[in-house]
C-alpha cells in the first residue's frame, strides 16, 4: 500500500487524456500533473532538446514525492524513455501498452500510426508493434498541426479548419487497408471525433493515453503500490506558463472541471 501520488507529465495538455482514464479507474489515487505549456510542442524539437526537457520534467515530479512516473507523451516515450527507465522510480511511457492494444484489436494486421514528427521519425511504434507481431504492416504519418490546434482550443469537429487539416493528413491512409489506427500522441483523442469521421467505422482508434493509464494500474498492482482503502485523492496541476488558458482547456481534456488550483513552476530551475 502506498498513498503517495502518481506523477504524470506531458509537453502540455495532452497528458490529461491519460489522467482522465487514471481518475476513472483509480478514483482514490492522488495525481501530480505537470504540463510543460511554456515549451510545447516537443514533437518538432531535436532529440537532444526533448531529452533535456524530459530530465527536467522528471526532476520536478520527483521533488513532489511521487511513487511512479507516467510519461503521458508519445514524443518523450519515443525519444527519451531511457531517461525515465533510469529515474529510480517505476516508470512507463505509452508505447508498449499502446502497441499491445493495437495487436489485440487488429484483424488484418495492417495498423496505422499518427503522431508528432519526432515520434514518427523515431520509428518507435513500428518497432514495438513488429516486436509483438513481425508480420504486422505499419503505416505512419506525422500530423504536426494537431498539437497546436488542441493547445489553442481549435478542436470543434464542425470547424472547417479542423476538418481540412484532419482530412489532409489522414488522406495518407487511403488505400492502405488499415483496420486499426494508433493515436500515438496523447493530444489526439481531443480530435477523436473528427479523426473517426474521416477514417470511418471500419477503423478502430487506439487511445495511447488510455492504454498507458491502464498499464499504470497494472504496474501499481504488481508492485503492491495501490493506495489504501478509503484514501482521499489530492490532485495537483502544474504548468510552466500561464495558468489561465490551462484551466478551461484542461476541463475539456479531463471531461470535468479541474478541482484544484493550477500552479506555475519555473521548469528551468530543475537540472537538465
Ligand atoms: N502529447 C505529446 C505527445 O504525445 C505532444 C508532443 C508535442 O508537444 O509535440 O507526443
Between CA 248 and CA 236 the distance in angstroms is: 16
Atom number, ligand 1, closest to the C-alpha of residue 78: 10
For every residue of 57-79, DSSP letters joined together read HHHHHHTTT-SEEEE--HHHHHH
45 Cα–ligand 1 center, Å: 11
Q: State the distance from the centre of ligand 1 to the C-alpha of 147, rounded, in angstroms.
A: 7
Task: Tell me how far the alpha carbon of residue 36 lies from the centroid of ligand 1, in angstroms.
Answer: 10
Give the global pTM. 0.95
Residue minimizing CA distance to atom 8 of ligand 1: 41
Q: What is the pLDDT along the chain (272 residues), one digit of tens a residue?
A: 999 999 999 999 899 999 999 999 999 999 999 999 999 999 999 999 999 999 999 999 999 999 999 999 999 999 999 999 999 999 999 999 999 999 999 999 999 999 999 999 999 999 999 999 999 999 999 999 999 999 889 999 999 999 999 999 999 999 999 999 999 999 999 999 999 999 999 999 999 999 999 999 999 999 999 998 888 899 999 999 988 878 877 888 888 877 778 999 999 999 99
- The catalytic position among 87, 143, 185, 253 is 185
Binding residues for substrate: 10-11, 42-43, 186-187
Inter-residue contact 177 to 110 (CB < 8 Å): yes
Active site residue 216: no
Annotated binding site: 10-11, 42-43, 186-187
- Residue 262 half-sphere exposure toward CB, CA atoms < 13 A: 22
Amino acid at each position: 500500500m502506498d498513498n503517495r501520488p502518481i506523477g504524470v507529465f506531458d509537453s502540455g495538455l495532452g497528458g490529461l487524456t491519460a489522467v482522465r482514464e487514471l481518475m476513472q479507474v483509480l478514483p482514490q489515487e492522488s495525481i501530480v500533473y505537470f504540463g510543460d505549456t511554456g515549451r510545447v510542442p516537443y514533437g518538432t524539437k531535436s532529440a537532444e532538446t526533448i531529452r533535456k526537457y524530459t530530465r527536467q520534467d522528471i526532476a520536478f515530479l520527483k521533488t513532489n514525492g511521487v511513487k511512479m512516473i507516467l510519461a503521458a507523451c508519445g514524443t518523450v516515450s519515443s525519444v527519451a524513455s531511457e531517461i525515465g527507465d533510469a529515474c529510480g522510480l517505476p516508470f512507463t511511457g505509452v508505447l508498449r501498452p499502446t502497441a499491445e492494444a493495437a495487436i489485440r484489436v487488429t484483424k488484418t494486421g495492417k495498423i496505422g500510426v499518427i503522431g508528432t514528427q519526432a515520434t514518427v521519425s523515431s520509428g518507435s511504434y513500428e518497432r514495438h508493434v513488429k516486436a509483438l507481431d513481425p508480420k504486422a504492416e505499419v503505416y505512419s504519418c506525422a500530423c504536426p498541426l494537431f498539437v497546436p490546434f488542441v493547445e489553442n482550443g481549435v478542436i470543434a469537429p464542425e470547424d472547417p479548419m479542423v476538418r481540412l487539416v484532419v482530412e489532409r493528413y489522414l488522406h495518407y491512409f487511403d488505400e492502405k487497408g488499415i483496420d486499426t489506427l494508433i493515436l500515438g500522441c496523447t493530444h489526439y483523442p481531443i480530435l477523436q471525433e473528427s479523426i473517426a469521421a474521416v477514417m470511418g467505422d471500419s477503423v478502430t482508434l487506439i487511445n495511447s493515453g488510455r492504454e498507458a493509464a491502464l498499464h499504470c494500474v497494472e504496474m501499481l498492482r504488481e508492485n503492491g503500490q495501490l493506495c489504501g482503502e478509503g484514501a482521499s485523492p489530492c490532485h495537483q496541476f502544474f504548468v510552466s506558463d500561464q495558468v489561465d488558458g490551462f484551466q478551461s482547456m484542461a476541463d475539456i481534456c479531463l471531461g470535468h472541471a479541474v478541482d484544484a488550483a493550477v500552479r506555475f513552476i519555473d521548469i528551468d530551475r530543475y537540472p537538465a
